[in-house]
Amino acid sequence: EKGNYRHFMQKEIFEQPIVVAQTLQSYVRPFEGKVALPDFDFDLSTVNRVTIVACGTSFYAGMVAKYWFEQFARVPVDIDVASEFRYRQPVLEPGGLALFISQSGETADTLAALRHAREEGQTIAVVVNVPTSSMAREADLLLPTHAGPEIGVASTKAFTCQLSVLAALAANLARAKGRLTEDEEREIVEHLREAPEAMNQALNHDEDIAGMAHLVAPARDVLYLGRGPDYPMALEGALKLKEISYIHAEGYAAGEMKHGPIALIDDLVPVIVLAPSGPLFEKTVSNMQEVRARGGKIILISDAKGLAEAGEGCVATIEMPEVHPLIAPLVYAVPVQLLAYHVAVAKGTDVDQPRNLAKSVTVE
Ligand code: M6R
């Protein structure tokens, strides 16, 4: 079933352009230039607050979505990991939308959080990959991802499919809130349609990235930095590396570096920076300079423009295509997945079945 691939995770990373395209088919009407959602009996324009709850990688997809919902739809968003949400007595106003994100649809904490939110009078939206799962059955608004079965314990294709659905949901919400002109909507549809091809271009760097594994494999600690939606992407990059290579890794908002973690930096610490060119780029570059001044070894993931400006002095660079901010997280997911994968292969760990981890966490 792995075909020519060595591991399921590798196969699933490479499947992403196809499954993202498949998923997006249900959420865009390209000829009309419109985003769309499955039919349900609910008026998105009434949503005054979204509460997002998930675990692990699905939680990071939710964190990216928070930036989008706020930026495009101007709707306030609250987000938490399910294990905290269900016990912290969250204040949920009647009529709110609670959004649960899960590959399996069976994660115990997320399911319990969903039931709690229902008791508190929330409308339940679920982004889920397994259509027969408990969460799918209990949803008012079912938003399926079409990633197909994900076998590798480290989530990859389910994550980028979640991002695709969440981007479309952000656009739907923005339209319902009167924040999107027809032209803007058409543009978003175009950008979403470009995502699979941009992900293909990112996958073309597979061999270069394999060649960088030796920069990370010997490290004891690795930092991932990003700003805006690239901050949750940094968290996701660090989680992927931890899970399958067993190297301690942390993701940080680049601006938080000087509030503590910079103390860790020396010439043994690789620092992976995710920074597409754009309004936040200069800020991240100055954080990179702080790292470099302390001997940190930077691997910069950016587009041609960003690399021309800030690539010098990095131990390695990975060039991403220049893309709209809405699809950047889908594209930047690819190099962080590949880097984690190749480092794990270099270390000889069990990539598809990492120690201590289960694919679906059905106990608390
Ligand atoms: O099935 P779910 O999306 O609810 O699972 C949530 C987490 O357990 C999951 O994302 C986990 O963090 C993965 N191993 C990440 O690669």
Phi, psi of 154, rounded to the nearest 5 degrees: -75, 120
Residues 6 or more apart from 237 whose CB is under 8 A from it? 224, 249, 251, 272, 274, 336, 339, 340
The preferred substitution site among 12, 52, 58, 159 for testing ligand 1, maximizing ligand atoms within 8 Å of CB, is 58
Q: What percent of the chain has pLDDT over 70?
A: 100
Choose the catalytic residue: 34, 283, 347, 359: 359
Distance 155 CA to ligand 1 centre (A): 6
Helix (H) or strand (E) run with residue 289 in it: helix 281-293
pLDDT at 359: 87
pLDDT at 199: 98
Instruction: Kindly tell me if the per-residue pLDDT of 176 is higher than 90.
Output: yes
Mean pLDDT confidence for 199-222: 98
Distance 68 CA to ligand 1 centre (A): 21
Closest Cα to atom 16 of ligand 1: 154
At 358, the pLDDT band (50, 70, 90 cuts) reads: confident
Which pTM was predicted?
A: 0.97
Distance 257 CA to ligand 1 centre (A): 27
Phi, psi of 227, rounded to the nearest 5 degrees: -125, 160
Q: What percent of the chain has pLDDT over 90?
A: 91
Closest Cα to atom 8 of ligand 1: 56
Instruction: Kindly tell me if the per-residue pLDDT of 62 is higher than 90.
Output: yes
Q: Establish whether residue 104 lines the binding site of ligand 1, counting it when its CB lies within 6 angstroms of any ligand atom.
A: yes
Q: Which atom of ligand 1 is nearest to the CA of 107?
A: 4
Distance 150 CA to ligand 1 centre (A): 11
pLDDT at 303: 98
At 156, the pLDDT band (50, 70, 90 cuts) reads: very high
Confirm if 362 and 106 have CB atoms less than 8 A apart.
yes
Instruction: Kindly tell me if the per-residue pLDDT of 364 is higher than 90.
Output: no
Mean pLDDT confidence for 251-277: 94
- State the residue for tokens 């990003």: 226
pLDDT at 103: 98
Q: Establish whether residue 9 lines the binding site of ligand 1, counting it when its CB lies within 6 angstroms of any ligand atom.
A: no
At 360, the pLDDT band (50, 70, 90 cuts) reads: confident
Q: Establish whether residue 58 lines the binding site of ligand 1, counting it when its CB lies within 6 angstroms of any ligand atom.
A: yes
Mean pLDDT confidence for 86-111: 95
Closest Cα to atom 4 of ligand 1: 102
pLDDT at 50: 97
Mean pLDDT confidence for 101-116: 97
Q: Establish whether residue 243 lines the binding site of ligand 1, counting it when its CB lies within 6 angstroms of any ligand atom.
A: yes
Strand-by-strand arrangement of the 50-54 sheet: 77-81, 50-54, 97-102, 123-128, 141-144
Q: Is 34 a catalytic residue?
A: no
**Strands 28-29 and 34-35: what pairing?**
antiparallel
Distance 61 CA to ligand 1 centre (A): 11
Mean pLDDT confidence for 76-99: 94
Instruction: Kindly tell me if the per-residue pLDDT of 351 is higher than 90.
Output: no
Question: In whole angstroms, what is the distance from residue 54 CA to residue 80 CA?
Answer: 7
Distance 236 CA to ligand 1 centre (A): 11
Q: Establish whether residue 110 lines the binding site of ligand 1, counting it when its CB lies within 6 angstroms of any ligand atom.
A: yes
pLDDT at 32: 95
Mean pLDDT confidence for 182-200: 97
Phi, psi of 22, rounded to the nearest 5 degrees: -60, -45
Mean pLDDT confidence for 315-339: 97
